A and B are shown apart, each in its own frame.
Chain A
Amino acid sequence: MLGLIIKDLLNMKGQYIIMVVSIVIYGALAYSGQDSQMLGLILMLFAIMAPVSSMALDEKAKWDAYAATMPIKRTCLATSKYLLALGGLVLNMSIYFIISLLLFGMSVEPLFLETMGYMALAMVVQSLMVPITVKFGVEKGRILMMLSFAIPFGAVLVFEKLGLNMAIGVLTTGHYMALALITINLWLLSLKVSQMLYLKKVF
């Protein structure tokens, strides 16, 4: 498992500079417009793209066929993508939280809830994207990826139209807890589906 995660992190090393530059640019734009949500969205999108980008690189190299000759359980091929996704999400949302706290002067509790909201949205999209990409490949999965990007943007627009901030709304703590549980269970179900797909794959 660790070998696979190291492989993914090393494989994506060409993208880190692009991500850092993008974060700086969008951070500057967000700061000038005094709207942290732009930064939150871009960090969320990078996190969403991480497992699929890694799978695209694997597909290009036909890595999975080679990995099948190694003492790597097939379920680990799936699990490593989800761990990569989760790690990227936690990292990016931590960056967002710290920057928003320091530069935008947001309060901790609403910022925390907003960050959790981004994480939940990202996890929902990943839960759909990863098994679809495992099953159909990156090219066909890409079309669905474009559609799925509409989900977080659409959700933010709807909330704005309704005059609801992502963090401050009519939802209670209980609602947030329930949404968190649903998101986690969906994510775990997605992991199971991806593991089963890898078990059935032929190379």
Chain B
Amino acid sequence: MGDYAIELKGISKGYETFQLKDINLMIPRGCITGLIGANGAGKSTTIKLILDMIKKDSGEIEIFGQCHNDNTLKERIGVVLDEVHFPEVLNLRDVNRIMKHVYKRWDEKMFFDYAEQFKLHHKKAFKEYSRGMKMKLGLAVALSHGAELLILDEATSGLDPIIREELLDVFMTFVQDERHSILMSSHIISDLEKVCDYIAFMHEGDLIFFEQKDDLIESHRLYKCSEEALKALPPEAIIGYRKHLYGVEVLVRDHENIQNGVVDRASIEDIMLFHTKEKTVC
């Protein structure tokens, strides 16, 4: 058994107005990896490439050490996309009838146990489900066929905090089995801060960083100072800065010797935002 759930080596994919450029990303097993970035950064494109929903221009993708376009791999992968695409007239029981003939290791009992846990009505048509219920149904399917890898593309978007908390608990329980891994893209950084072990940040088709979450937070500081103090900072420590009416906010990395200013911990959201800001001080 390899160390990585997913390996992307030199992955490129080009569209008319967008280019995913030479992405190298190794998603470890037994961990939750968060994939963050602005809209159009390439998160969904990366996920679709992993799932062979679109074809790569170059590079290699492996899942569990096997070529990603081996269809049998999908028995081991549970997927929840930003919307759950069941036909609207189907109900929970219909979904079970279908899925037990799709997945070899479909666990009917587990599926109905999750339905019970998520309080999903058995005979209600899919079109009558709320968004939260639809995502829960999608997750119940993803968790009920012996998946070792969950891939979630904005699966918690548009959900209220109570449901999100419920789903995050399910994710944490899932990875208690060290063979299990999760790759989740989300705009809700607070969710990722709660559950993720690793954070990958993408911006305009590039992978900007991929680090352990705790190391990331510990190594960055948000420094509020004057413009003069900004100029005194070593350039290699500056990730980005933002000027305000009364001063400057600077994100610094691996730099403890900060004077004449206020130093705060940087959140993942700060780190993401400042990576897209100016970093050269004029």
Contacts and interface: CB of A to CB of B under 8 A. Distances in A.
Given A69-B79, A70-B103, A202-B53, A10 B72 contact: no
Contact of A65 (B53, B73, B75, B94): B53
Contact of A68 (B52, B84, B86, B102): B52
Interface string A92-115: 000000000000000000000000
B51 A69 contact: yes
Given A3-B102, A65-B53, A69-B51, A57 B87 contact: yes
B97 to A, nearest CB: 6
Contacts of A62: 83, 85
A71 interface: yes
A25 interface: no
A20 to B, nearest CB: 17
Given A63-B85, A65-B53, A69-B79, A10 B90 contact: yes
B109 interface: no
A72 interface: yes
A2 B106 CA distance: 14
Contact of B86 (A4, A6, A61, A72): A61
B154 to A, nearest CB: 14
A68 B85 CA distance: 11
Interface string A68-88: 111111000000000000000
A161 interface: no
The 6 closest A-B pairs by CB, nearest first: A3-B101, A66-B85, A3-B102, A69-B79, A71-B74, A203-B53
Interface of B: 48, 51-55, 71-75, 77, 79, 81, 83-90, 94, 97-104, 151
Given A61-B86, A71-B102, 20 more contacts: A2-B101, A3-B98, A4-B102, A6-B98, A7-B87, A7-B98, A10-B89, A10-B90, A14-B89, A65-B81, A65-B85, A66-B84, A66-B86, A69-B77, A70-B74, A70-B103, A72-B71, A72-B102, A202-B54, A203-B48
